[in-house]
Structure 1
Amino acid sequence: MDNFVIKTENLTKDYSSWLRKAKKPALKDLTISIPKGSVFGFLGPNGAGKTTTIKILMGLIRPTGGTATVLGKPYDDVEVKNRIGFLPDSPAFTPQLSAMEFLDVCARLLKIPSSKRKQRVQEVLEIVRMSPHAKSKVGTFSRGMLQRVGIAQAILNSPELLILDEPLLGLDPYGRQEFKEIILEQRDKFGASVFFSSHILSDVEEICDSISILNKGRLLCAGKLSDLLSHDTGNGILVKIVKCDEAVKELMTSADNVQKKENDEWELTFKTATPELEKKIADLSARFGDSVKRLNAKEDLETFFFGKIEEDNLEKA
């Protein structure tokens, strides 16, 4: 296998029916490569072709044209499915089963040996922070709890690749934060590559290495997030703070965006550089040295995303 977990070339999908003579294109010549070991954000408005692409990659539907490989194998290769964890956009659960019972059924379907099933179910419940609810009926769970059970089944087989369709949908801010931590843990601790779609752009910007943006079935752009968002915003400020909670507290209330990174690092973005703000940052830099760094703010993902979509829509108007 090469260094890409997913590769598509000119992938196309048309839908048609006996009621409609003309074919409706859902995907048009999609060519993307997803690097091994990355967290990849698959973005686009409703109807862009994201779920269609995911269904093709999982072998649930066949493309009209083009090729797709997953973990170095054709997308419809049965063997490769054992190495993938999948969470659909609308997962179905058996409401009368407990979380532990449901995951035990999933483990049996995955042919996890009986000697290891119970331990593995307990492990994944711990990973998704659902151990206290292991014996509770799935039918009593909130949307956020169901999403946790969903990702627990997706990681039961210790997959090399996770494919998640809208995993953050319907979660509150606390649930989203925990879910992002779980996704990053799968990459950093367990070596999985992660491919997921989402409409929550701030979360994508926080955890993704690379992204692609689709609109009306066509790829608009793809690449490393740091490269795509490399343009200065002009009057904005980015403050990086490392291991200095006092500085974070002093600036947090006036920041337009606050992101917690790895190794106790924070990034605070301010859309406008006022004299008062510049003075406060300078004072903090003098007090805490290299722990507080001022940079010119880069374009955020939301601005970049809407710019690409609007530009494409205008070209087609």
Structure 2
Amino acid sequence: MRAAFASGTDADNPLAALTVGERPEPVHPADDWVTVEVRASSLNHHDLWSLRGVGLPADRLPMILGCDAAGIDPDGNEVVVYPVIADPGDPRGISILSERFPGTFAERVAVPRSNLLALPAGMSLTDAACLPTAWLTAWRMLRTVGRADEADAVLVQGAGGGVATAAVALAVAMGKRVYATSRDAAKRERVAELGATAVEPGARLPERVDVVVETVGAATFDHSLKSAAPMARIVVSGATAGHEPKVNLRRVFAMRLEILGTSMGTPEELRDLLAFCAERKIQPVVDSVVPFSRIDEAFAHLHTGQAFGKIVIDHQA
């Protein structure tokens, strides 16, 4: 079957490790696994990290990439694929599709049947394919870990990427006052169109916030601390610009701040996210929809850092 996979790894030039070609049909490691016909998928920075060799050692190559997918189950139902697999062989007890089990950038993908969620009425497969990784992470950061229900104001660092842009859209839909940073003036304009107050990185906010969505890391972490209200939650799910920030511990204890780490979410949280988006008629922020025949171009675009929102792959084109 046609697939996009890591045929090797290259820390300096990850695109050089990407191959598009034929791979064997999916296998079922256990009786409860089923095969899904993939109709749409979406890219994440996780895919580029895999091509760099992060979390993907040589003994697992070649590996079909991709975490997110929506498609058709064996009974003909439209479904969304939850990408986290129980995995006793991983120290975390879990792994994400494309780490130990083949991913979603293929005509078909095998997953446990319990990892399939029904596509909500009125939601397109293209939109659904954006949700299981970046949007689910943003949802958990806000709703579960950040306790956004108790918040009035939210700061999202580095808006433009998949998780951060999702956090902006979701926090606005939750009725919060949302501030979002970006170094790119064009991205700040697009963030403002989503309903947030867009500011340059490090800019003083008109108020302190109750929740900070932090995916950037060292480059923005001091600003996150300074922008946090007493007893605020700074929720971290990434470190694209440095993973060893200097932390002013006096501010942490004096302001009684919570610094919380998280990633992904549970199947129940994905089900809640799907219902929330369907009920509020929220459409994921999509940078572009690219036919599978040009998936290498989609990877190259993600690698530039210029994408705003999700890059979706149409597997029927």
> TM-score when scaled to structure 1?
0.26
Which structure's residues are more often helix, by fraction? 1
Q: Which has the larger radius of gyration?
A: 1
